[in-house]
């Protein structure tokens, strides 16, 4: 299916947000996620199903200051 991840087009076989995060290398990372503008808690990613044309945002915290 075709989705947008952080504004870039991606093709994925992932059926859930958790599967997508794992496929993109964020399996154990501390990240914030949103689907179509709605925040998705880490505990809800496995049950958050993805659909064609979904817009996903994945944000990782940065150190520095």
Q: Where are the domains of the chain?
A: 2-59
How far lies 22's CA from each of 35, 44, 50, 64, in Å?
16, 14, 14, 26
Q: In degrees, to the nearest 5, what angle opens at C-alpha 19 toward C-alphas 34 and 39? A: 10
Which superfamily does 2-59 belong to? Answer: Beta-grasp domain (3.10.20.30)
Model confidence, pTM: 0.90
Own/partner contacts of 27-34, CB < 8 Å, gap of 24 or more, are 29/60, 30/60, 30/61, 31/58, 31/59, 31/60, 32/57, 32/58, 32/59, 33/57, 33/58, 33/59
For residues 2-23, give the mean pLDDT: 97
Confidence band for 56, pLDDT divided at 50, 70 and 90:
very high
């Amino acid at each position: 299916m075709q989705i947008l991840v952080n504004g870039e087009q991606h093709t994925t076989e992932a059926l859930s947000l958790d599967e997508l995060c794992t496929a993109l290398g964020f399996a154990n990372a501390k990240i914030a996620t949103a689907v179509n503008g709605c925040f998705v808690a880490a505990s809800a990613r496995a049950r958050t199903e993805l659909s064609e044309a979904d817009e996903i945002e994945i944000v990782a915290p940065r150190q520095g200051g």
